[in-house]
Amino acid sequence: AKVAGKNCYRFYSRAMDLAVERRVNLEHELRGAWDRGELSLVYQPVYRLADRTMVGAEALLRWNHPRHGQVAPSVFIDVAEQSGLIETLGPQVLRAACSEAVRWQQLRPSAEPLSVAVNVSSRQLRSGGELVQVVADCLRDTGLEPERLHLELTETAVIGDEVHASEMLAQLRETGIKVLLDDFGTGFSGLSHLRRVPVDGVKIDRSFIADILRDPDDLALTSAIIAMAHSLGITVIAEGVEKAGQYALLRERGCDQAQGYWLGQPVPANEFLALLG
């Protein structure tokens, strides 16, 4: 057993070296990826449940690596956060998404304005005043109406340092933008948390939506989130709607908005424009 243990150790150690090496390479390659045009945004439509009208889209980052092809966002976003690259990448993403949203409005000036949701990492939130300045500059330079920009922050990012986070969120909301709590329900923060953190909306994590048709507990939890959020005047968005039945049930339970493969896949900017056509 001892010998096997030793071999195991060696094996894991080598595997770890490889993982570290790959990470270092990815970090190096990610550094110039935006300028080389390897990074782009896709847009996933968000619908109002009551009348199935599109009300906006979430911008999601994609990395088309010259050798590896599409790199999973969970992998490269993590690399960007750990390395600090997110502090240059984040503002670039924000600008690109806001400019795109201005284009949507130019294309259909008399239609109901569409919002654009942009994911913000916990590291960007921690950079504090900088983020508020980045958002204010972006709104000024692109001319996007502030209320059409929605920033998505994960529940866990906000829990870490509640006092600081609440202050940041208050400052962000003073610019007129809306703040959404992403992956809601996964952070174990409990519903009471909503009272103390100033947000405009919550996005129920897709792990809860996945089973609402079969699991009464997941449905009960989802319904409780909707009721609690509404009592506080907070909008509720369901993620990961993959079936007509989920859509119908969420609508019946009074959920406000939804996104998911059943409603629309994330698509490149030009395809999203065509959807509006």
Positions that interact with ligand C2E (CB under 6 A): 44, 60-61, 73-74, 77, 93, 119-121, 152, 182-183, 206, 240-242, 259-261, 266
29 contributes a contact to Ca ion by CB under 5 A? no
Phi/psi at 152 (5° precision): -105, 120
Q: Report the nearest approach of ligand C2E to the CB of residue 8 (Å).
A: 32
The closest residue (CB) to ligand C2E is 260
155 contributes a contact to Ca ion by CB under 5 A? no
In the bound state with Ca ion, the residue whose beta carbon lies nearer, of 31 and 262, is 262
Measured over the CA atoms of residue 223, residue 225, residue 231 and residue 236, the dihedral's sign is negative
Of 119, 121, 122, 142, which lies in the binding site for Ca ion, with binding defined by CB under 5 A? 119
DSSP letters for 196-262: HS--SEEEE-HHHHTTTTT-HHHHHHHHHHHHHHHHTT-EEEE----SHHHHHHHHHTT--EE-STT
Q: Report the nearest approach of Ca ion to the CB of residue 117 (Å).
A: 7
Contact stretch for Ca ion (CB under 5 A) within 32-40, 159-167, 175-183, 228-236: 175-183
In the bound state with Ca ion, the residue whose beta carbon lies nearer, of 29 and 202, is 202
Q: Is-contact 117 57, C-beta < 8 A?
A: yes
Contact stretch for Ca ion (CB under 5 A) within 108-116, 218-226, 237-245, 254-262: 237-245
Q: Total residues at the site for Ca ion (CB under 5 A)?
A: 5
Q: 266 by DSSP, 3-state: which?
A: coil
In the bound state with Ca ion, the residue whose beta carbon lies nearer, of 183 and 218, is 183
> Taking CB within 5 to 8 Å according to partner kind, which of Ca ion, ligand C2E, none is near residue 260?
ligand C2E
Among 129, 134, 166, 167, smallest CA distance to 149 is for 134
Q: Report the nearest approach of Ca ion to the CB of residue 109 (Å).
A: 28
Q: Is-contact 136 129, C-beta < 8 A?
A: no
152 contributes a contact to Ca ion by CB under 5 A? yes
Tokens linked to 166: 């609440």
182 contributes a contact to Ca ion by CB under 5 A? yes
Q: What is the 3-state secondary structure (H, E, C) of 15-72?
A: HHHHHHHHHHHHHHHHHCCCCCCCEEEEEEEEEECCCCEEEEEEEEEEEEECCCEEEC
In the bound state with ligand C2E, the residue whose beta carbon lies nearer, of 100 and 152, is 152
> Taking CB within 5 to 8 Å according to partner kind, which of Ca ion, ligand C2E, none is near residue 73?
ligand C2E
Per-residue binding letters, 203-222, with Ca ion (x by CB under 5 A): --------------------
Give residues with Cβ within 8 angstroms of 209, minimum separation 6. 218, 222, 238, 239, 240, 241, 246, 250, 260
- Residue 206: how many CB atoms within 10 A of its CB? 18
Through-space distance between the first and last CA atoms of the chain, rounded to whole angstroms? 67
Q: Is-contact 208 184, C-beta < 8 A?
A: no
Q: Report the nearest approach of ligand C2E to the CB of residue 167 (Å).
A: 20
Tokens linked to 244: 């007509």
Q: Report the nearest approach of Ca ion to the CB of residue 60 (Å).
A: 8
In the bound state with Ca ion, the residue whose beta carbon lies nearer, of 29 and 125, is 125
Interaction site with Ca ion (CB under 5 A) = 119, 152, 182-183, 239
